[in-house]
Structure 1
Amino acid sequence: MQKDEQRNIILAIVLSLAILLGFNFLTAPSEEELAAQRAAFEAEQAQLAEDANSGDPSTPQLDSTLSAIENAAAGLTAPLDRSEALDQTPRIAIRTPKLEGSISLRGGRIDDLTLSTFFETIQTDSPNITLLSPVGSLAPYYAEFGWISSDSSIAVPDSKTVWSSTVDTLTPSQPVTLFWENGSGLRFEREISVDENFLFSVKQRVINNGSSATELAPYSLISRTGTPELLGFYILHEGPIGVLDNSLVEVDYDDLQDEKLIQNRTTGGWLGITDQYWLTALIPDQEQSVQTRFVYTGKGNTTRYQTDYFYDPVAVSAGETVTFDSNVFLGAKEVTLIDDYQEELNITDFDLAVDFGWFYYITKPMFFALHWITGVVGNVGVAILILTLAIKIPLFPLANKSYASMAKMRKLTPKMTALRERFGDDKQKLNQEMMNLYRQEKVNPAAGCLPILIQIPIFFSLYKVLFVTLEMRQAPFFGWIQDLSAPDPTSIINGFGLLPWDVPELGILGFINLGVWPILMGLSMFLQQRLNPQPTDPVQAKVFMLMPFFFTFLLATFPAGLVIYWTWNNLLSIIQQALIMKKAGVPLGRQPDEA
């Protein structure tokens, strides 16, 4: 059974390797896919320049199919620089602790937002993250609100309407009210307020000063022109998203291009467009039923995506005022903030905006543990080290039993070698004698797999946390590690920064850029392997010997925080295993009969 025991250990290691390979090569786009994405993105931007952003998706239409999308001319002959496009319309400034931007009085759109506390890179001169941009710029992205009517004779505000305003700046302490009259007795008002984070509240009112009733339906929409350059990881959703009818709906950009229109009826929930770290989300009244849509329209290589919802039409009698309240989230996907909004506004499953994945009940607690420890120690990398230790403490009895069994196996190596030499030609007899030996010595040959198997869900959860949560983005450790969510920036190619040339971008061959931490991880894995009982089968022994080498190159492309975790976990395991072996009287070095 020694061979069975060896097979079990190798199976566990191969399973771990398969999962890691799956993360790195199956979830990461290939070089060909990246090239295709870049080519499509460049072609799309060229088409945008040619089309001059001549249109944008219109408001929802109350027709029988709900699929009509018109292109309203923007009146521009060429795409403008973003700042020039902003100057084309009168504006109300937005000033909050986390946001800078403006609202266009033409159309009443929120179409200019910059995240003032987030930067594109870790460089000191890096620009802030730009979230929304106006029509007329290269890639318009905005939120719009309004009313729709099935009666074309009733004038309602649209994308060309120029609103009037009560103030010139929107702040958390100063809301703004936009107003417009259609000349036929209807006065439309839009009160917009914003908190100190990323939530806008929109109160839409229509006042009927006329002599007859009219029927209107309020709507909200988010429009995005151009398909963004995607990361292309299967473990991360980018694109239209929502919780509709109590179910998470994730729509890929290319799928929406095929479908053109996806409709749902829902009470409660939300919908919008998500990137890795940023989100625009419409949040209707959670007590009222709304019709929701994901819409695509395109011309040539130009792509436009829209998420919208509208309420059922309501009758507004003469002398009556009708009001609808809604919210829109425009900003960064901070986990604790999104959870707070979910609780305060009773938004159905708003926390699913952060893609914690299938193992939500492991990954999210992992995040909160890291987040809390980071708040105490002030460093995410140190928090990873502390959390790893905290995880190993409750698992100590199980790991202790496993390492004790491995120590016994190590001690039995001479006896197992003798049995193999004696019964090597009689496999059945050899297996029987091995089983008898295990029973006599009270050894479980499969116990050595447990430390490896236990690491798999922890590894996956930490990988997810580092990849999808904003709190891990650009988080520094010490020394050269200034972003734990990115690979180790050092490389053997430039002597770990000592030689005067930059590290080349190698795409899928990025594992060649071996950094310091992946090498340390490989060394720790090699040392840990030396403490384990060695296979007597030469082929299996070679597989074991190559594992640290494979993992070293494999983890070179993983986030540095994950490599630091793996290295630290190995060191803790080495200490634990060495103490147990010493207690059992087993030599730490490899013995001659294990060679």
Structure 2
Amino acid sequence: MQDNKNFFLAIALSLAVLIGWNVFFGVPTMDKARQDAAQNAKVAAENKAGPIPGVSPQTNTPPSESQANPSIAPTRELALFGSRRVTIDTPRVQGSINLRGAEIDDIALKDYHETVDKKSPNIVVFSPANAPEGYFARLGWLPGAGASVDVPLPSTVWTADSQTLTEAKPVTLTWDNGKGLTFKRVVSIDANYMLTLADSVEAKDGVTASLTPYGFVRRIGKPVTQGYYILHEGLLGILGDQGLKEEKYDGLEKDSALSATEKGKSFPQATGGWVGMTDKYWAAALIPDQKTPYTANFTVSTPPAGGKPAYQTLVTLQPLTVQAGTPAASTTRLFVGAKEVNTIDAYQNTLGIERFKLLIDWGWFWFITQPMFKLLDGIYKLVGNFGIAILIVTVIVKAIFFPLANKSYSSMAKMKAVQPQMQALREQYPDDKVKQQQELMELYKREKINPVAGCLPVVIQIPVFFALYKVLFVTIEMRHAPFFGWIKDLAAPDPTSVFNLFGLIPWEPPHVLMIGIWPLIMGVTMFVQMKMNPEPADPVQKTMFTWMPVFFTYLLASFPAGLVIYWSWNNLLSVSQQYLIMKRQGVKVELWDNLRGVFRKRAAPAAAADAKPASKPDAKAGKPA
């Protein structure tokens, strides 16, 4: 029994460490990120009326070399203003293509907003290079080694055959170098977030050139990140047989230096896959032809003048030769948008993109996390509420593991039934631990008891807990999904707090005091669950188990509300299940005695304080006159 208690204690402490890391390290980082974002927005608003800056042309240096940042505009709107553009307009995407450099640098998502308010601004993914937070994609051609060929530069202005790119109408961009080469790019977009860029080069008679196609996604300045260890934010890609490669922004900066101003990693001879950058919910990825070898580079560069760092994922393909009658052609896809599970999976299946589903960070336990999402999403489509879907999934998981849990609780009930015999053995062999253990094993064998079976419900619950945590945290489908009442976003913490009486007091508590209604409900259910069993004899363990519900209430207060709702509902089901099994086994349920004991302990000090000390009899009063 002592080993069982220690096992439970180890499980609880391990879980507390994992959760505590998020609360004390991840959450403060996220809070600081929100403050920085708010400050940046304030500065941008103040500078909105500033002058329109000129556009500094960029030189066409080799992709691996650092490039100076252009003159930064005060706001994104001013960065877009004044440049010739082709409008992008589809049911789900709005933006534009910059004809200077033919850059895809303006992408916003119509279906997603910054807050739960549908009137709040749309989510912006791509912004021009000279915007406060430049983030864009560029494709082009490099001259072959030792060749002197005029290729399109970042400052090159292309000609478009249409002013609007729609799902039904591609746009063709053209540029003639005046020396016998004509560059064309046909840009198309599908119903979601995938652009296809078909590049070709045609040569006139007598003109021959060697050209290397390339493309990159570049981000100027370190973006605001969530800072959670379970979520990858940064550069990533599937590089053929080399598999998944991930680099966080900070980690890339600490990598070995390639030059005085550039650091990074190179992955040569990859075939199949993709490279890009990812945020929590949004991503951009370049997808080369899945049968053509390429070299990928993850780099971060800082201009000598001390500007912002530029993070870049680069794809360089094999050189091609163009001559009269034999054009050079290269087609690359560009994903820019929301990391919707079904959309990402469909791209992998229909376009044959190698392991594109790993654009979503499913984690090491993907074999649990992905089915958990599929189950949640399927039930959500039936009931129309992700919160209800979470409750139903919890019942399903309980039903699946019911035989095992039933056996475990039955074993726990039998353990309680033989407690007097176990205590007698300890008293019979107080100084012979070996004999004591032998007799205990014989007792377990006679009574058909597995002493570790009672731990199985906890062991099973932990991976399911983390799988649901991962689903709620990384999948965009949970973002801004409402439950009932005050829960408007299941992926965000409960917004209420006991320290302002759940909104009755007009005061916004600091983050550390945001303990809402659902975390309190979870704490109560956990307290009841702990009181179902006899209290530990060891004072240290007794104190630990007494304070554990309070500890977990505080820790889970900063977790997604959907996870806290799951935990509360799971505790309630576990208590009901254990109660019924103990009754069926004829074992006493300790809950009511434990609760009465708690209230008696609370009442005893009050009664002692109210009682007045008895007055001593007056010795003189008993004497005769």
Q: Specify if TM > 0.5.
A: yes
The answer to which of 12-21 and 83-92 deviates more is 12-21
Task: Give runs of aligned pairs for residues 196-211 of structure 1, distance below 5 A.
Answer: 196-211=191-206
Within-5 A mapping of 1:450-529:
450-504=456-510, 506=511, 510=512, 512-529=513-530
Structure 1 CA distance for aligned equivalents of residues 16 and 416 of structure 2: 24
User: How far apart in 2 are the matches of 1:35 and 1:105?
Assistant: 34
Amino acid at match of 1:6: K
Q: 1:497 is paired with a residue of what secondary structure? A: coil
Q: 1:249 aligns with which of 245, 265, 269?
A: 245
Which residue does 2:610 correspond to in 1? none
Counterpart CA distance in 1 for 2:115 and 2:374 is: 25
Instruction: Say whether the 8 Å CA contact 1:53–1:135 is kept in structure 2.
Output: no
Q: Distance in 2 between matches of 1:356 and 1:56?
A: 41
What amino acid sits opposite 1:288 in the alignment? T
* Amino acid corresponding to residue 346 of structure 1 in structure 2: G
The CA distance in 2 between the partners of 1:69 and 1:410, in whole Å, is 70
| CA distance, structure 1, for counterparts of residue 154 and residue 463 of structure 2 | 50
Q: Is the 8 A contact 1:9 1:446 kept in 2?
A: no
1:175 CA drift (Å): 0.3
Q: Does 1:264 align with 2:267?
A: yes
Cα distance in 2 for partners of 1:530, 1:220 equals: 62
Moved more, 546-555 or 12-21: 12-21
Residues 1:375 and 2:381 are matched in the alignment: yes
Offset of 1:322 from its aligned partner?
A: 2.2
- Structure 2 CA distance, aligned partners of 1:105 and 1:166? 12
Whether 1:283 aligns to 2:287 is yes
> Does structure 2 conserve the Cα–Cα contact (< 8 Å) formed by 1:56 and 1:304?
no
Normalization by structure 1: what TM-score? 0.90
Q: CA deviation at 1:530?
A: 1.7
SS at match of 1:276: coil
Instruction: Rate the CA distance shift 1:533–1:144 in 2: closer, same or farther, 3 A.
Output: same
Matched, 1:102 2:96: yes
Mapped to 1, the partners of 2:592 and 2:430 lie a distance apart of 21
Q: Percent identity?
A: 46
Say whether 1:335 aligns with 2:344: no
Whether 1:86 and 2:72 are equivalent positions in the alignment is no
DSSP-derived class of the 1:531 partner: coil
C-alpha separation between the residues in 2 aligned to 1:198 and 1:536? Answer: 61
Pick from 304, 312, 316: which aligns with 1:310? 316
The DSSP-based 3-state class of the residue aligned with 1:280 is strand
1:14 aligned partner, one-letter code: L
* Deviation by residue 1:306-347 (Cα, 9 ceiling, x = unmatched): 222122221111233222111000101111111111111111
- Which residue number in structure 1 is paired with residue 156 of structure 2? 161
Q: Does the residue aligned with 2:496 lie in a helix, a strand or coil?
A: coil
Structure 1 residue 4: deviation in Å?
2.7
- Structure-2 change in CA distance of 1:59 and 1:566 (3 Å): farther
Q: 1:145 offset after TM fit, Å?
A: 1.4
Task: Give the residue type in structure 2 aligned to 1:475.
Answer: A
The one-character-per-residue Cα deviations of 1:15-59 (angstroms, maximum 9, x if unpaired) are 333443345446x265699589959x98xx99x99xx89879765
The equivalent residue for 2:302 is 298
Contact map agreement 1:60 1:148 (CA 8 A) in 2 = no
Higher relative contact order (CA 8 A, sep 6+): 1
The 1:237/1:53 distance shift into structure 2, 3 A limit, reads farther
CA distance 1:237–1:58, shift in 2 (3 Å): farther
| Whole-angstrom CA distance in 2 between matches of 1:448 and 1:531 | 13
Q: Kindly state the Cα deviation for residue 11 of structure 1 after the two structures are TM-superposed.
A: 3.0
* SS of the residue 1:485 aligns to: coil
CA distance in 2, matches of 1:592, 1:377: 40
Shift in Å at residue 153 of structure 1?
3.7
Number of the residue aligned with 2:139: 145
Post-superposition CA distance 1:210-265 (Å, at most 9, x none): 42211111221112111101111111111111111331111121233344132112
For residues 197 and 564 of structure 2, what CA distance do their matches in structure 1 show?
45
Distance 1:372 1:53 in 2: 52
Question: What TM-score, normalized by structure 2, do the two folds share?
Answer: 0.86
Report if the CA contact (8 A) 1:244-1:271 is conserved: yes
CA contact (8 A) 2:237 2:274 kept: yes
Aligned match of 2:619? none
- Give the C-alpha shift of residue 148 in structure 1: 1.1
Q: Please tell me whether the aligned partners of residues 133 and 221 of structure 2 are also in contact (alpha carbons under 8 angstroms).
A: yes
| CA contact 1:53–1:137 (8 Å) conserved in 2 | no
Q: How many angstroms does 1:529 deviate by?
A: 1.6
Give the direction of change, closer, same or farther, for the CA distance of 1:386–1:117 in structure 2 (3 Å limit): same
Question: What CA deviation, in whole Å up to 9, does each residue of 1:128-147 have, x standing for no partner?
Answer: 11111113321221111111
2:92, 2:182 → 1: CA distance? 33
Q: Is 2:186 aligned against 1:185?
A: no
Deviation of the 1:578 alpha carbon: 0.9
Aligned position for 1:4: 3
Aligned residue number for residue 562 of structure 1: 563
- Note closer, same or farther for the CA distance 1:454–1:60 as it changes in structure 2 (3 Å cut): farther
**C-alpha distance 195-33 of structure 1, shift in aligned 2 (>3 A):** closer
- Indicate the larger mover: 577-586 or 525-534: 525-534
How far apart in 2 are the matches of 1:513 and 1:53? 47
Larger radius of gyration: 2
Matches within 5 A, 1:26-105: 28=26, 34=32, 61=62, 67-71=64-68, 74=70, 76=71, 79-105=73-99
Given that residues 402 and 451 in structure 1 are in contact (C-alpha distance below 8 angstroms), is that contact kept between their aligned partners in structure 2? yes
Q: 2:207 aligns with which of 204, 212, 216?
A: 212
Per the alignment, in what secondary structure is the counterpart of residue 520 of structure 1? helix
Query: Which amino acid is 1:548 matched to?
Result: P
- Alpha carbons of structure 1 residues 349 and 34: separation in structure 2 relative to 1, 3 Å: same
Give the Å deviation of 1:386: 0.8
Separation of aligned partners in 1, 2:387 and 2:65: 51
Shift of 1:14: 3.1
**One-letter code of the match for 1:281?**
A
Quote how far apart the aligned CAs of 1:155 are: 1.4
Q: Which amino acid aligns with 1:374?
A: Y
Q: 8 Å contact 2:22–2:228 — kept in the other structure?
A: no
Looking at structure 1, the residues matched to 121 and 329 of structure 2 have their Cα atoms a distance apart, in angstroms, of 39
Residues 97-149 of structure 1 show CA distances to partners (whole Å, capped at 9, x for unaligned) of 11111111111111111111111111343211111111332122111111111
The answer to whether structure 1 residue 553 and structure 2 residue 554 are counterparts is yes
Give the direction of change, closer, same or farther, for the CA distance of 1:415–1:549 in structure 2 (3 Å limit): farther
**CA-atom RMSD, angstroms?**
2.8
Shift of 1:405: 1.3
Amino acid at match of 1:558: F
Question: Match for 2:224: what amino acid?
Answer: E
- Tell me if the contact between 1:284 and 1:325 (Cα under 8 Å) persists in the aligned partners: yes
Alpha-carbon distance in structure 2 between the residues aligned to 1:307 and 1:59: 17
Cα distance in 2 for partners of 1:68, 1:177 equals: 29
Q: Give the match's secondary structure for 1:302.
A: coil
- For structure 1, the 5+ residue unaligned runs are none
Q: Partner of 2:617 in structure 1?
A: none
- The residue that corresponds to 2:615 in the other structure is none
Partners of 1:263 and 1:57 lie apart in 2 by 24
Q: How far, CA to CA, are the matches of 1:370 and 1:36 in structure 2?
A: 29
Give the Cα separation in 2 of the matches to 1:175 and 1:32. 40
Cα distance change on mapping 1:519 and 1:207 into 2, 3 Å: same
Task: Please give the alpha-carbon distance, in whole angstroms, between the structure 2 residues aligned to 1:311 and 1:37.
Answer: 41
Higher alpha-carbon deviation: 123-132 or 533-542: 533-542
SS in 2 for 1:112: strand
In the alignment, the residues of structure 2 paired with residue 58 and residue 141 of structure 1 have an alpha-carbon distance, to the nearest angstrom, of 18
Q: Give SS of 1:211's match.
A: coil
Measured in 2, the distance between the counterparts of 1:456 and 1:354 equals 22
* Distance of 1:311 and 1:182 partners within structure 2: 22
More divergent stretch after superposition (435-444 vs 493-502): 435-444
Does the aligned pair in 1 maintain the 2:533–2:591 contact within 8 Å?
no
> Following the alignment from structure 1 to structure 2, what is the Cα–Cα distance between the partners of residues 36 and 235?
19
**From 115, 126, 132, the counterpart of 2:120:** 126
Q: 1:36 to 1:458 in 2, by over 3 A?
A: closer
| 2:496 and 2:502 in contact (8 A); partners too | yes
